[in-house]
Each structure stands twice: as structure tokens, then as C-alpha cells.
């Protein structure tokens, strides 16, 4: 899993990277074939806007959210991606027969 970080109006430090990578580990529980994760953090008017793009096999998941702290912002986007992956996985395993 390759994780890239981009900061706009903010420098992405090791603490932020470690925090996000810990959060992203739970995504591997649902989807083991995650290949790339692109993270963009933007500081605008005192709010942290985080965009997360996850590519796994042929699927692409995208989430964007803002928070008053970078931790809050990371939590929001990872939760959104997790819900998308769960929804897709449930759809694939839900057999009406």
C-alpha cells in the first residue's frame, strides 16, 4: 500500500502521517487489495480540509471533509471511505437466492 501526502498551506509532519496510517490500517481489514492512497490536506480559514482517494483493484473511493483539527478531519474522511468500502463489499456478498 503506497500512501502519498500533499499539504496545501500546511506542512504534513510525521505525527500526521503516523496518525493517518494507523487509521488507514482498519481499511485493510475490509479490503486487502488497496494499492494507492492519495491524501491532500488543505488549511483554509482555520479549518482543515482533507481529501482521501483510495484505489483498490478496479475500484476508486473518494472522500472529502473538513474539521476544526487535522485529527477530526482525518477521522471523518477515513470513516466515509470505510462506509463506502463496506457498502460495496456488502453489495458483492449479498446474494438473493
24-41 pLDDT tens trace: 888 887 777 888 999 999
Please give the tally of structural domains in the chain: 1
Tell me the three state secondary structure of residue 62.
Answer: strand
Question: Quick check: is 97 in a domain?
Answer: no
CATH of the domain at 71: 3.30.160.100
Helix axis angle, 14-30 relative to 70-93, nearest 10°? Answer: 10
| pLDDT greater than 60 at residue 97 | no
Domain hosting 41: range is 2-90
Phi, psi at 49, each rounded to 5°: -105, 120
| pLDDT greater than 80 at residue 93 | no
User: What CA–CA distance (Å, rounded) separates 80 from 54?
Assistant: 11
* Contact by Cβ (8 Å): 11, 43: no
Amino acid at each position: 500500500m503506497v500512501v502519498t501526502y500533499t499539504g496545501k498551506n500546511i506542512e504534513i509532519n510525521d505525527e500526521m502521517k503516523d496518525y493517518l496510517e494507523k487509521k488507514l490500517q482498519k481499511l485493510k481489514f475490509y479490503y486487502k487489495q488497496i494499492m494507492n492512497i492519495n491524501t491532500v490536506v488543505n488549511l483554509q480559514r482555520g479549518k482543515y480540509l482533507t481529501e482521501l482517494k483510495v484505489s483498490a483493484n478496479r475500484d476508486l473511493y473518494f472522500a472529502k471533509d473538513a474539521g476544526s483539527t487535522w485529527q477530526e478531519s482525518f477521522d471523518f474522511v477515513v470513516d466515509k471511505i470505510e462506509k463506502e468500502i463496506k457498502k460495496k463489499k456488502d453489495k458483492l456478498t449479498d446474494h438473493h437466492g
